[in-house]
Amino acid sequence: MAPFDDTIFLKQSVEVLSFFNEDQLRRVTPDIERSSYNNGQTVLLRGEISSAFYIIKKGKVAANYKSKTGALAMELKAGDFFGEISLLEDMPSDASIKATEDDTVILMIPSASFRKMLEMQPMLKNSLNMKVAERRKSLSSKA
């Protein structure tokens, strides 16, 4: 895939990035790494410190969390993201992420590029924090 395709995808399909203009996104799309995963393959392990902001471009993943009452899972699909907690709070991942479909494509924005994005659009941090709070609330209601 060409970086231009990634720019359009990020702008149109990733809600927390919607307020970036295309020029801003083009500054980071050359840095994006792409990986493909098959059903059951691990993308990120719980406890791992993430060095990237992950965005699902195609397919689905399961985010598996541990709680006091057992295991909880949340499905993430194209346009969803993960790894932001490690980058924002300098903490290890609180979930293990596994692909649940073959040919799941994940875009990885390296931490240096992610920091550039935060500088370009300070609102990004607020949007990500709100999304994290929503996910945590959703998970706690399942527990």
pLDDT tens across 92-115, in order? 988 999 999 999 999 999 999 999
Contact by Cβ (8 Å): 107, 54: yes
- State pLDDT tens for residues 114-127: 999 999 998 999 99
Give the model's pLDDT for residue 137. Answer: 85
Give the integer Cα–Cα distance in Å for 60 and 62.
7
Main-chain phi, psi angles of 77, to 5 degrees: -130, -175
Percent of the chain with pLDDT over 90: 66
Give the model's pLDDT for residue 78. Answer: 97
Stated pTM of the model:
0.91
- Whether the pLDDT of residue 1 is over 50: the answer is no
Bigger pLDDT: 67 vs 7: 7
For 134-140, what is the mean pLDDT? 82
Give the model's pLDDT for residue 142. Answer: 67
Give the model's pLDDT for residue 94. Answer: 87
For 79-84, what is the mean pLDDT? 94
- State pLDDT tens for residues 10-40: 999 999 998 899 999 999 999 999 999 999 9
Burial (CB count <10 Å: 0-12, 13-18, 19+), residue 50: buried
